[in-house]
Amino acid sequence: MLNNTEFRNSNIPSSALCNGISMNTLRQKSLLNRPAFLRIFKCLYGDSKDEEELYSELTGKNVHIITTIQSWEEKLTEATRDGKILVANFSTPWSGPCRSIAPTYGELADKYPSLMFLTVDVDTLAEFSTSWEISATPTFFFIKEGRQVDKFVGADKVQLPKKIAAVANATRV
């Protein structure tokens, strides 16, 4: 069994992570961060999937993955210019709730092309995410003309579609 110091070492080979550590144990101890998740994922499922493939499985074709401040600013500018409400999903690819709501979010992005859908990786953009006061993932922000107009926290597959439908309908008025 690996101790915390050994686990946090980024040079731990994938094979070592597969021996004696469960995903639930890591999650409970808040030790399962993005790099660790990717190493465990590759260990369990092989090296055939890279980070982008993993993200693409968790999103729809109309969801833009945000991993840099520059891409965030570009999409925010584009949404403002086009008069669209931006829906920003602050999440991680390794979180159970984020993974469970991702297909629903992707379907909603395909259903509502009048909105712009983003997924912001809170691990890659940790400081940026902190500035949005993210206390749980997933957290969804609704932004119009650069300003937050609403917020939804959680992976509720019933309530999120209702919230997005309400936002989409409000833009038609």
For the chain, what are the domain ranges?
A: 50-171
Rounded Cα gap, residues 123 and 165, in angstroms:
29
Indicate the fold that domain 50-171 takes in CATH.
Glutaredoxin (3.40.30)
Q: Of all residues in the chain, what percent carry a pLDDT higher than 70?
A: 64
pLDDT tens figures, 114-167: 999 999 999 989 999 999 999 899 999 999 999 999 999 999 999 999 999 999
**Strand ranges of the sheet holding 139-144, from the earlier edge strand across to the other edge:** 63-66, 115-121, 85-91, 139-144, 147-153
Name the nearest CA neighbour of 85 among 60, 116, 113, 62: 116
- The structure tokens listed for 78 are 């584009």
Q: Which of 76, 85, 103, 77 is nearest to 160 (CA)?
A: 103
Structure tokens at 100: 């469970």
pLDDT tens-digit readout, 70-85: 999 999 999 999 999 9
Task: Please report the pLDDT score of residue 144 as a whole number.
Answer: 95
Confidence at residue 62, expressed as pLDDT on a 0 to 100 scale: 86
pTM of the model: 0.69
